[in-house]
A and B are shown apart, each in its own frame.
Chain A
Amino acid sequence: DAGVTQSPTHLIKTRGQQVTLRCSPKSGHDTVSWYQQALGQGPQFIFQYYEEEERQRGNFPDRFSGHQFPNYSSELNVNALLLGDSALYLCASSHRTGANTEAFFGQGTRLTVV
């Protein structure tokens, strides 16, 4: 089992550009969540996808959008990049079974906006 895989591992973009990050969940998982981890901080919830729909969203602007595909993989898109979007973006997969479900995290994508 490859676990949760994310691509790319590192990315450098210019302010104003758009970026797409990708995530493949752990085998058997149907729910994907995205988190943003700024330097020196804990991860912050962006949104969660289940059955190809966004089920819940954190306090992030509409510049952040996502998608989930029939095979449960997911994309995170960020438009009009700002310097403050520089962070480690983490994908987590799980089963939609309630609060006691365990989330498995990928290695993350390090996004640097210059």
Chain B
Amino acid sequence: AQSVTQLDSQVPVFEEAPVELRCNYSSSVSVYLFWYVQYPNQGLQLLLKYLSGSTLVESINGFEAEFNKSQTSFHLRKPSVHISDTAEYFCAVSSVFSGGYNKLIFGAGTRLAVHP
């Protein structure tokens, strides 16, 4: 069975500093990876996704993630964070079951706290 491990439950960082949120997944033949963000009292919003092609994927708000097959990792990075980036971040892998249907398997989440 596929699984996702987020190595840090909490990451405190000062504003304008760089940040990396770590994610490792269990190996599979085909891997589709996602990062979702959850602001307080809200649902999940897709931040970025890796489906195929370039191993470096970017979001519109400055985040990027790199798919590393040999290390089975999909770490999320941002060179300079803002207070507004404070949120819970979830890494997820898409698991396909019979019939072609899929479900998302999530990590436990990493709480990013940006301090002034």
Contact = CB atoms under 8 A, between A and B. Distances in A.
Interface string A33-73: 10100001111110010100001101000000000000000
A56 to B, nearest CB: 5
A22 to B, nearest CB: 15
B46 A99 contact: no
For the residues of B in contact with A, the DSSP-based class is strand
A108 B101 contact: no
A43 B90 contact: yes
For the residues of A in contact with B, the DSSP-based class is loop
Interface string A1-34: 0001010000000000000000000000001010
Interface of A: 4, 6, 31, 33, 35, 40-45, 48, 50, 55-56, 58, 90, 92, 96-108
A58 B108 CA distance: 17
A64 B4 CA distance: 25
A90 B104 CA distance: 12
A99 B90 contact: no
A39 B52 CA distance: 33
Contacts of A44: 106
A79 B33 CA distance: 34
Contacts, number: 72
Given A42-B107, A42-B108, A43-B90, A98 B46 contact: no
Contacts of A105: 36, 43-45
A12 to B, nearest CB: 16
Contacts of A56: 97, 101, 103
A48 B103 contact: yes
B108 A45 contact: no
A84 to B, nearest CB: 17
B105 interface: yes
A42 B95 CA distance: 16
Given A90-B44, A105-B44, A42 B102 contact: no
B17 interface: no
Nearest to B98: A56
Given A41-B108, A42-B107, A42-B109, A98 B43 contact: no
